């Protein structure tokens, strides 16, 4: 793994803006299938939402710390795993939850609250868990997230397309019914195309270093999905809600992770490798799980 800390990803700030725009389209494609009544039901019964947030911000970072203790990877790789676990769920989780036949409204609500909560909880989780492990403690720097920038990102990538989609479905259900299927396919095709282009642009980089972290990322993602399913099962959530919590815990906002790595950790190589490989793998594992679950209808 020599040289892993010297890597510079071929992934520009402009690419991150494109990714945010693509994810906004994905969010809109989900939102046009939702109604205000879906969120009113969550307000009357908030237990699934609370369970999901606990799974994401408490259980996943703790499982990650145990993984780091057991495997003891390079410090930069360990810090990358901790940082990814501290990020909120990515909104592709909403698309995957929908495809899996889970509670998409719950998934969207978890993503929204977790993203806003990340302003405080993400740096706290990074500082706490990385500070408890000696090799990462030396790498840990003071991390601060600009609340204004996060608010702008949340607004344009999540809140605005969500509000527009729900409003359009409420005002013109016949129009959204016609739009739904084509838009789902188009948004997914755009996302897959972006991932393919990003992979092609960094192909040499992945050939050289991805093998060093591939097993860890796959194991970490499996722990995230398994932890989410276990927490939801122990909380006795319905299968409909359990699918949402499982996927939301296993799909992390690796785009935000990359932003933090370049903004606050100097693009540290091991961290960048972990976040980049997570960005590809969690989409593949999530889509595979959704395809499996979609074969059976989840009881509500």
In the chain, domain spans: 4-293
pLDDT of residue 286: 94
pLDDT of residue 144: 58
Give helix 203-234 / helix 47-54 axis angle, nearest 10°: 130
Find the length of the chain. Answer: 300
Spacing of C-alpha 218 from chain mean position: 15
Alpha-carbon distances, residue 45 vs 51, 106, 237, 241, 242 (angstroms): 12, 11, 11, 12, 15
DSSP state of 56: I
Q: Which neighbouring-strand residues pair with 89? A: 252
Instruction: Please check the confidence at residue 76 and state whether its pLDDT lies above 80.
Output: yes
Cβ 239 vs Cβ 299: under 8 Å: yes
Q: Which of 258, 223, 229, 280 has the alpha carbon at shortest distance from 87?
A: 258
Over residues 131-149, the mean pLDDT reads 74
Over residues 152-156, the mean pLDDT reads 69
Instruction: Please check the confidence at residue 91 and state whether its pLDDT lies above 60.
Output: yes
pLDDT of residue 1: 45
Neighbours of 260 (CB within 10 A): 23
- Tell me the pLDDT band of 121, cut-offs 50, 70 and 90: confident
**2-11, 117-126, 221-230, 237-246, range with the lowest pLDDT:** 2-11
Over residues 57-64, the mean pLDDT reads 97
Fold of 4-293: Na+/H+ antiporter like fold (1.20.1530)
């Amino acid at each position: 793994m020599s040289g892993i800390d010297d890597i510079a990803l071929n992934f520009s700030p402009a690419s991150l803006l494109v990714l945010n725009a693509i994810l906004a389209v994905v969010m809109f494609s989900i939102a046009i299938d939702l109604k205000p009544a879906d969120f009113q039901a969550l307000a009357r019964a908030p237990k699934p939402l609370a369970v999901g947030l606990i799974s994401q911000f408490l259980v996943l970072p703790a499982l990650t710390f145990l993984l780091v203790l057991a495997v003891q990877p390079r410090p930069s790789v360990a810090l990358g795993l901790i940082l990814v676990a501290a990020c909120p769920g990515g909104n592709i989780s909403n698309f995957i939850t929908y495809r899996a036949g889970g509670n998409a409204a719950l998934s969207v609500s978890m993503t929204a609250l977790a993203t806003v909560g990340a302003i405080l909880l993400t740096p706290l989780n990074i500082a706490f868990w990385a500070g408890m492990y000696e090799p990462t403690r030396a790498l840990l720097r003071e991390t601060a997230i600009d609340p204004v920038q996060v608010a702008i990102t949340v607004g344009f990538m999540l809140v605005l397309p969500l509000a527009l989609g729900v409003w359009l479905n409420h005002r013109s259900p016949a129009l959204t019914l016609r739009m739904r299927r084509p838009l789902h396919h188009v948004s997914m095709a755009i996302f897959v195309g972006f991932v393919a282009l990003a992979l092609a642009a960094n192909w040499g980089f992945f050939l050289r270093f991805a093998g060093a972290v591939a097993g860890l990322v796959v194991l970490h993602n499996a722990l995230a999905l398994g932890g989410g399913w276990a927490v939801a099962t122990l909380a006795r959530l319905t299968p409909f809600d359990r699918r949402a919590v499982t996927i939301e815990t296993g799909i992390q906002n690796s785009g935000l992770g990359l932003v933090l790595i370049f903004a606050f950790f100097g693009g540290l190589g091991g961290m960048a490798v972990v976040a980049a490989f997570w960005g590809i793998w969690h989409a593949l594992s999530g889509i595979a799980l959704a395809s499996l679950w979609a074969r059976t209808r989840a009881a509500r």
